[in-house]
Amino acid sequence: MEKSLESILERGKDIKEQLIRGAKSYAADSLTGIVFYTPLMFAYETLARGYSIGESLEIRGKAAVLGLALYGTYGQFRKLCAHATKTTKESSSKRKAIVETASSYIFNVSVYVGILMQAGADPLDATATALAGTVLVSLTGRPYGWVLDRVRRKFNLPATYG
């Protein structure tokens, strides 16, 4: 009887640790995404796309709320892309950059169109803005992944590539 009670308590402890690690991972990924992309996207929207400061602040506010939900998911999506493409810490910098850029593009651009439309942009402008944003995503996909891996290590979480 004692062994089974001990094993139940030990299993409960393992589950608790997994839940804490998962919540910590989700929070680190979500907050890193918001902090990294908010100023970049604000500058892009106001300087390159001509949105007013008020329009961009509205978009960024909605994006931050959505980011709390989605950037934690992006961390898992990023791991899935790495696994599916057999990209590891030992892979070449070029390979990691390609996989990071592609995963960031697939995940972020489709979400961005929805955010813009929900903020009141017409569908054509939202699509054009998101497509033009692919240049920004291409330039920031790997740097974001690099930052994300470093933040994850600071929280004693496993990094995908670093």
In tens, the pLDDT along 82-109 reads 999 999 989 998 999 899 888 888 887 7
- On whether residue 161 sits in a domain, the answer given is no
According to the model, what pLDDT value does residue 132 have? Answer: 78
- On whether residue 28 sits in a domain, the answer given is yes
pTM of the model: 0.73
- On whether residue 162 sits in a domain, the answer given is no
In the predicted structure, residue 3 carries a pLDDT above the cut 70: no
- 59 CB-near residues (< 8 Å, 6+ apart): 41, 45, 51, 115, 116, 119
Instruction: Give residue 116's domain range.
Output: 2-154
When pLDDT is cut at 50, 70 and 90, the band that residue 151 belongs to is very high
- On whether residue 89 sits in a domain, the answer given is yes
| Top-confidence residue, 100 or 10 | 100
- On whether residue 86 sits in a domain, the answer given is yes
| Cα→Cα distances 106→47, 77, 131, 138, Å | 24, 10, 11, 11
- On whether residue 149 sits in a domain, the answer given is yes
- On whether residue 61 sits in a domain, the answer given is yes
| Top-confidence residue, 62 or 6 | 62
Domain tally, the chain: 1
- On whether residue 159 sits in a domain, the answer given is no
Determine how many CB atoms are found less than 10 A away from the CB of residue 53.
10
The one-letter amino acid code at 69 reads: A
Q: Is the dihedral of CA 125, 127, 132, 133 positive or negative?
A: positive
